[in-house]
Amino acid sequence: MNDFNLNMHVHRLLRDEPFFAALSRRIDKRSSKAIPTAGVCVNPDTAQFEMLYNPDFFKEMSDQHKRGVLIHEFYHLVFEHVTSRKPEGVPHLMWNVAADLSINCLIGKDNLPEMCCYPGEGKFEKYPSGKTAEYYLKMIQNDEQFKGDDGKGCDGEGDSDGQGQGSGSGGDESGNQQGSGDGGGLGDGQFDAHEGWGDSKVSEEAKEMARERLKDMTRKASEEASSSGRGWGSVSNSVKKEIMKKLKTKVDWRKVLRSFIGSAQRADKSSSIRRINRRFPYIHAGKKVNRVANIAISIDQSGSVSDAELNAFFNELNKLADLATFTVVPFDSKVAEDKVYVWKKGEKRKWERVLYGGTDFNAPTAYVNKRSFDGHIVLTDLYAPKPKASRCRRMWMASKYNVEHAYFKTNERVIAIDVKQ
């Protein structure tokens, strides 16, 4: 008998769920018997989201429960449980169960496998429904029945039969437990595997790219659902509002700078009495070492870039200037080298246009490659062929529309911003 192929059933299962159906089309789903149930994670090589599922786990479930598991996994993505929301220092198992509790009450107990953890049921009888993962996390941490449960069962130790690898405990359709891990009972009500959430193989750069892709995927899925004529399916209005709120674009420049600093090969050393010279403690001042990323900002000044876009670009750069000094490189089909300048930290500038020609991304790439920059951000409409490789880390910034209609595809990070026309 052939193994169950989830990809052949997703369209039918999500026929009445326009939002989740649109999201599902953007997520790779792969069969794997290395996990006991199912789970979503970030692929460390491609920074793409994947859903792994055990065909034996899905084969025995009713369509109602198959649909519930799919929606459960996609909610983990939408609410960023996979990428960034887990508090530091919290055991994986505690966070995984808290996240499951927050999601499962949105789906409904009847729509999920029998062994799911659910507010108001079993060990969680005193837990109210409709709360956030952070709320449930605090309850679990203060719950006497889980004292001493450090979550070792989901920190990547053991094998795939539930004895540790991830939080892959759960049950089959008849309620038979498929491995409870070493969590002392806390994880007994989990039916999906979360081992990929804390994967140390996933670099910070890949996580950042995944977060940007998630926002883009969710935005497109919301647009498709809104224009479907059937609404968002089982997604409530309050959850819909929360999802739409997450889509509001706001560039976290601190994170962007950290990603460049992490790859910087430069160090700015200055004398300081804060760090005493160990060899000659009373003769020479110490050296204070600050990692400083030397960043180039190339601004596309070609005729296809509107004044509204230029204004939006400068608005973002004024925010960046609150945190750092950087070099501005205006370009169209060539770099206007006489117009290159250093934008110092704390300065405020108004937008300006200095060029009007065509677009060639190789021009700023060559300019930056010949100099000792650690990072390169290109502000553009993405309307030109893909350039040559950059010698330093490169990112792109464009309006949401232009990101969706880019002239070329890239694995480099692309940041979408709001542009008011």
Stretch 52-56: mean pLDDT, rounded? 94
Q: Is the pLDDT at 32 greater than 80, yes or no?
A: yes
Stretch 331-357: mean pLDDT, rounded? 96
Q: Is the pLDDT at 279 greater than 70, yes or no?
A: no
Among 9-23, 174-188, 329-343, 389-403, the least confident range: 174-188
Stretch 323-336: mean pLDDT, rounded? 96
Stretch 315-344: mean pLDDT, rounded? 96
Mean model confidence pLDDT for the chain: 82
Q: Is the pLDDT at 151 greater than 60, yes or no?
A: no
| pLDDT (tens digit per residue) in 116-130 | 999 999 999 999 999
Among 11-15, 159-163, 182-186, the least confident range: 159-163
Instruction: Please give the pLDDT value at position 256.
Output: 82
Instruction: Please give the pLDDT value at position 351.
Output: 96
Instruction: Please give the pLDDT value at position 404.
Output: 86
Stretch 98-114: mean pLDDT, rounded? 94
Q: Is the pLDDT at 287 greater than 80, yes or no?
A: no
Kindly report the three-state secondary structure assignment for every residue of the chain.
CCCCCHHHCHHHHCCCCHHHHHHHCCCEEEECCCCCCEEEEECCCCCCEEEEECHHHHHCCCHHHHHHHHHHHHHHHHCCCCCCCCCCCCCHHHHHHHHHHHHHHHHCHHHCCCCCCCCCCHHHCCCCCCCCHHHHHHHHHCCHHHCCCCCHHHCCCCCCCCCCCCCCCCECCCCCECCCCCCCCHHHHCCCCCCCCCCCCCCHHHHHHHHHHHHHHHHHHHHHHHCCCCCCCCCCHHHHHHHHHHCCCCCCHHHHHHHHHHHCCCCEEEEECCCCCCCCCCCCCEEEEECCCCEEEEEECCCCCCHHHHHHHHHHHHHHCCCCCEEEEEECCCECHHHCEEECCCCCCCCCCCCCCCCCCHHHHHHHHCCCCCEEEEECCCCCCCCCCCCCEEEEEEEHHHHHCCCCCCCCEEEEECCCC
Instruction: Please give the pLDDT value at position 93.
Output: 86
Q: How far is CA 351 from CA 158, 298, 310, 311, 356, in A?
A: 57, 14, 6, 5, 14
Stretch 70-83: mean pLDDT, rounded? 92
How is the beta sheet containing 393-399 ordered, strand by strand? 341-343, 326-331, 295-300, 375-379, 393-399, 413-417
Q: How far is CA 358 from CA 101, 254, 305, 405, in A?
A: 54, 32, 10, 18
Instruction: Please give the pLDDT value at position 191.
Output: 60
Domain chopping of the chain, boundaries: 6-246, 253-265+295-417
Stretch 131-156: mean pLDDT, rounded? 76
Instruction: Please give the pLDDT value at position 162.
Output: 32
CB distance 75 to 243 below 8 Å: no
Buried-state track 265-295, b at ≥16 Cβ within 10 A, e below 16: eeeeeeeeeeeeeeeeeeeeebeeeeebbbb
pTM exceeding 0.85? no
| pLDDT (tens digit per residue) in 129-142 | 999 999 999 999 99
Instruction: Please give the pLDDT value at position 192.
Output: 66
Instruction: Please give the pLDDT value at position 170.
Output: 36
Q: What is the band of 259 on the pLDDT scale with cuts at 50, 70, 90? A: confident
Q: What is the band of 90 on the pLDDT scale with cuts at 50, 70, 90? A: confident
Among 137-146, 175-184, 215-224, 247-256, the least confident range: 175-184
As a whole number of angstroms, the distance between CA 211 and CA 250 comes to 13
Q: Is the pLDDT at 238 greater than 90, yes or no?
A: yes
Torsion of the alpha carbons at 194, 198, 199 and 204, rounded to the nearest 10: 140
Side-chain-side CA neighbours of residue 89 (13 Å): 1
Q: Is the pLDDT at 195 greater than 70, yes or no?
A: no
Q: Is the pLDDT at 103 greater than 90, yes or no?
A: yes
As a whole number of angstroms, the distance between CA 356 and CA 398 comes to 18
- Cα 123 off chain centre by: 32
Q: Is the pLDDT at 144 greater than 60, yes or no?
A: yes
Stretch 280-309: mean pLDDT, rounded? 73
